[in-house]
Amino acid sequence: MKQTATNIDIIPQKILVNLPPTEELSAYDRNEKERKEILRRYRLILRHARERLKDDDAKKIKKAFEIAYEAHKDVRRKSGEPYIYHPLEVARIVVDEMGLGATSIVCALLHDVVEDTEIKLTDIEGQFGTKISKIIDGLTKIKDASDKSLSMQAENFKKMLLTISEDIRVVFIKIADRLHNMRTLESMPRDKQLKIKSETEYVYAPLAHRLGLYSIKSELEDLCLKFSDGHAYEDIEEKIRKTQPARDRFIKDFIKPIEEALKKQNFNFTIKSRLKSIFSIWNKMHKQGVAFDEVFDLFAIRVIVDVPIEDEKAACWRIYSTITDFYQPNPNRLRDWISFPKSTGYESLHVTVMSGIGQWVEVQIRTKRMDEIAEMGLAAHWKYKEKNGITTHDSGIEEWLKKVRESLEQKDVTALEFLDEFRRNLFSEEVFVFTPKGDLKTLQMGATILDFAFEIHTEVGAKCLGAKVNQRLVPLNYRLKSGDQVEILTSTKIKANEDWLKLVVTTKARNKIKEYIKDGKKDTIRDGKEIVLRKLKQMKLTLTHEILAQILDYFNVKSEPEFFYAVGKGTIDHTQIKKFQEKAEAEKLAKLSEVPMPEVPKIEKKSHKKEIKEIVVGGQTDRIEYALSQCCNPIPGDEIFGIVTVSKGIKIHRTGCPNAVDIMASFGDRIIKARWADDKSQVFDATLKIIGTDRVGLVSDVTRVISNQLKVNITSLAFEVHTGVFEGTISLSVYDTRQADEMTEQLGKIEGVVNVTRYNY
């Protein structure tokens, strides 16, 4: 049932009469302008959601808006805008860019009220019911953690995902929340930008990809690049703009014969081009070491046909046949995701063809339904599922959600371990394999027959001896390929062991193997304890805490279970247990012979954790201990940050460090600002890598430029030559990045040198 226009235009009265008459004109004008803008955004949400609203949905949205508006009315964002703009924009994103309905709109409007205001979850439940209060709970961050060594980001992320078992909309709203935060990140301080950007790159962009939100995933990645390397982002953006006219002419000529042919066949279709995202272009340039002009797949052509669901497959292959009548296809680049949809629900037929001017072009063929699922992911998939009944392709998404729930149900797994495991599965490609009866199973790329065995059944996996793949015997470490037919061989004599963990890639297999190992360890620990008790009884000793502490100290073992396990497994010979007593007696005699020494009072170290706002690196008046990280070797001029470690003080990293994203995404609450002091008295190590073509006198030229021309001290120098190509590593002492960059530039001018880069950058 569609909502009537009368209900849609319900306007919250509180917002119409909230301006005191005594305010100055300028403030009045500003507030009046903001009031109108708030109403405009609120009406826009209702208008765009009109088709999805039924019964009293509009009244619920109005009530949620009034609560949010009242709760946030005196709060402003860092940009200076009223805070209510944020929940309104999150609500608009879930409607316009995710295709969600009234429940999601209500939750988006209220997503910050419990965390940031006096409103409690019980208040939300009383007003809107249990379903909405559970979603809001999943969106509310944990206020504090009793264990300060925990990663708050990982704990909050795990808490959010726990709500998947209740309602997956919590994840969609969280992604919408993150998207708006990234769109407005400009107003945040630099350290906050890096933290939020790192979390987004580490978790939220991959999660959007896994849920099929490809447009949002691409935008999140682009924004991450914008705030990590703004110069590279702007450079690519400018080059895209300059090459647009030529690209438009090429596309027009390319699609002309296809359009004419499809019209003759009476297809209802549209053709559009899709430009590669700025991040994807940058990533390709970065990984393959190519310039912008050498990225030939800057865009793809998309043909979208509107046909009934039962005719989709035939229509897509007819269009494929038409396109290949005009352009020669590359048989190695055909991707049939219609017969074998991705587990995200993505369906499309991809073909790469040779254009008339000798350039490869990717053409994506899909239906209107497939395109909407590709743009809006899981939300659109379920919309079509409800409309048309169970489709043949919904098992992939539901299987993935089932695996997420299985991961969440694992006990004794820290939030960081869970986050690593979860993230490992987000971007993985897939293989399609068959059971002996012909049932299709989808596993992530790199899966072995052991992964397949655990996918079939836990007991099959635990007793897996090997397998027949396409009627041939293969070992446990065989990596499955799409199209393989697999028959698992089992034996009751086989037991899961720790070595198996190296052979599996799926979360399900890894978790089940760990469970079996844990159960086996319990038996071994029990056996070990019985052996120790018998041995102590022979020595006429009782197992007290004091004796156990002495034994652990003697064998240099950290915990009681670890010791009993080692004895039970035979790693520690039980005949050696009696020797701990000899050591204890020797230590006792030594203590008796010692001369008493006056006790030195302990000096309490003052904690800097609360006080440190910023650390100045390289200054003469440093009072805070820090160390430069070895993983990226920062030098003055590099943009840097500090991370407060649990046991090693403060570590200084470059923001471009290979580990920076992981560190900031997992431990953003421990990040502190850091900057270089204006101090030229210190030198820092920098390592350069040089690649080029070998010739006589090359090493001499390199050392001459460094030592004589640039006056820089070389600490080590190593060159290797393979079939005429040399590769050199030079370690130097420099003052700052300016000096390192100048050296890179000058060395690049030497004859034969092809590339000069700084290590760990």
Taking the mean position of all CA atoms in its chain, how far away is CA 600?
50
- Tell which residue, 187, 259, 196, has the closest CA to residue 224: 196
The answer on 223 and 80 residing in a single domain is yes
pLDDT (average), residues 294-302: 86
Amino acid at 464: C
Tokens for 664? 């900031």
pLDDT in tens, 653-676: 888 887 888 778 777 777 888 888
The answer on 699 and 664 residing in a single domain is no
pLDDT in tens, 439-452: 878 888 889 999 99
What local confidence, expressed as pLDDT, does residue 23 receive? 46
pLDDT (average), residues 177-196: 90
One-character DSSP codes across 4-42: PHHHHT---GGGGS---TTS-HHHHHHHHHHHHHHHHHH
Residue 338 sits at the vertex; the CA angle it makes with 333 and 343, to the nearest 5 degrees, is 95
pLDDT reading at 44 higher than 80: yes
CA distance 641 to 631: 14
pLDDT reading at 525 higher than 70: yes
* Torsion angle of C-alpha atoms 449, 455, 460, 466, degrees rounded to 10: 0
The answer on 218 and 84 residing in a single domain is yes
3-state secondary structure of 586: helix
| Maximum mean pLDDT: which of 49-53, 168-172, 349-353 | 349-353
The per-residue b/e assignment along 181-209, b for 16 or more CB within 10 angstroms, e otherwise, is bbebbeebeebebbbbbbbbbbbbbbbbb
* CATH value at residue 722: 3.30.70.260
pLDDT higher at 418 or 209: 209
Domain ends where: 206, 230, 254? 230
Active-site option among 66, 116, 229, 375: 116
Main-chain phi, psi angles of 98, to 5 degrees: -125, -15
* CATH value at residue 15: 1.10.3210.10
Please state, in angstroms and as integers, the Cα–Cα distance from residue 235 to each residue in 226, 265, 292, 313, 506, following that order: 11, 43, 10, 41, 39
| Maximum mean pLDDT: which of 25-29, 91-95, 546-550 | 91-95
Alpha helix ranges (H) inside 363-456: 368-376, 378-388, 395-409, 415-424, 449-456
Please state, in angstroms and as integers, the Cα–Cα distance from residue 79 to each residue in 75, 113, 174, 177, 672, following that order: 11, 20, 21, 16, 22
Domain ends where: 230, 254, 288? 230
The answer on 386 and 265 residing in a single domain is yes
The answer on 735 and 638 residing in a single domain is no
pLDDT (average), residues 565-588: 72
CA distance 159 to 145: 13
The answer on 292 and 209 residing in a single domain is no
Annotation marks residue 237 as catalytic:
no
- Mean pLDDT, rounded, of the chain: 79
Contact status, residue 484 vs residue 475, Cβ threshold 8 Å: no
Confidence bin at 208 (pLDDT 50/70/90)? confident
CA distance 670 to 738: 29
The answer on 714 and 654 residing in a single domain is no
pLDDT in tens, 228-237: 889 999 999 9
pLDDT in tens, 445-478: 889 999 999 988 888 888 888 889 988 888 888 9
Task: State pTM to two decimals.
Answer: 0.65
What local confidence, expressed as pLDDT, does residue 147 receive? 44
Counted domains in the chain: 5
Annotation marks residue 51 as catalytic:
no
pLDDT reading at 391 higher than 80: no
Main-chain phi, psi angles of 392, to 5 degrees: -75, -10
pLDDT cut 70: percent of the chain above it: 78
Q: Look at residue 237 and tell me if it is in a domain.
A: yes
Structural domain harbouring 201: 5-230
Q: Look at residue 30 and tell me if it is in a domain.
A: yes
pLDDT (average), residues 68-72: 90
Contact status, residue 322 vs residue 262, Cβ threshold 8 Å: yes
Half-sphere exposure of 69 (CA within 13 A, CB side): 20
What local confidence, expressed as pLDDT, does residue 224 receive? 93
Alpha-carbon torsion (648, 650, 652, 655), positive or negative: positive
pLDDT (average), residues 85-113: 91
pLDDT cut 90: percent of the chain above it: 21
pLDDT in tens, 323-364: 999 999 998 889 998 988 877 778 899 999 999 888 889 999
- Tell which residue, 317, 375, 320, 323, has the closest CA to residue 346: 375
Q: Look at residue 458 and tell me if it is in a domain.
A: no
Q: Look at residue 414 and tell me if it is in a domain.
A: no
pLDDT reading at 714 higher than 80: no
pLDDT in tens, 552-570: 877 887 788 888 888 887 7
* Helix, strand, coil percentages in the chain from 3-state DSSP, rounded to 5: 55, 15, 30
Q: Look at residue 24 and tell me if it is in a domain.
A: yes
- The neighbour count for residue 288, using CB atoms within 10 Å, is 9
What local confidence, expressed as pLDDT, does residue 21 receive? 46
- Is residue 751 packed enough to be buried (19+ CB in 10 Å), middle (13-18) or exposed (0-12)? exposed
The answer on 355 and 257 residing in a single domain is yes
The answer on 219 and 94 residing in a single domain is yes
The answer on 240 and 223 residing in a single domain is no
First to last CA, the chain: 57
What local confidence, expressed as pLDDT, does residue 598 receive? 40
pLDDT (average), residues 630-654: 80
Q: Look at residue 173 and tell me if it is in a domain.
A: yes
- Tell which residue, 649, 738, 644, 722, has the closest CA to residue 686: 738
pLDDT in tens, 584-636: 555 554 444 443 444 434 434 444 444 455 677 765 445 567 888 877 778 77
What local confidence, expressed as pLDDT, does residue 721 receive? 76
Q: Look at residue 480 and tell me if it is in a domain.
A: no
151's enclosing H/E stretch is none
Amino acid at 607: S
Domain ends where: 200, 215, 230? 230
Q: Look at residue 402 and tell me if it is in a domain.
A: no
Please state, in angstroms and as integers, the Cα–Cα distance from residue 625 to each residue in 133, 253, 652, 682, following that order: 46, 64, 11, 16
Active-site option among 9, 29, 115, 614: 115
pLDDT reading at 514 higher than 70: yes
- Find residue 714's DSSP bridge partners: 732
The answer on 649 and 574 residing in a single domain is no
The answer on 261 and 152 residing in a single domain is no
Main-chain phi, psi angles of 743, to 5 degrees: -65, -45
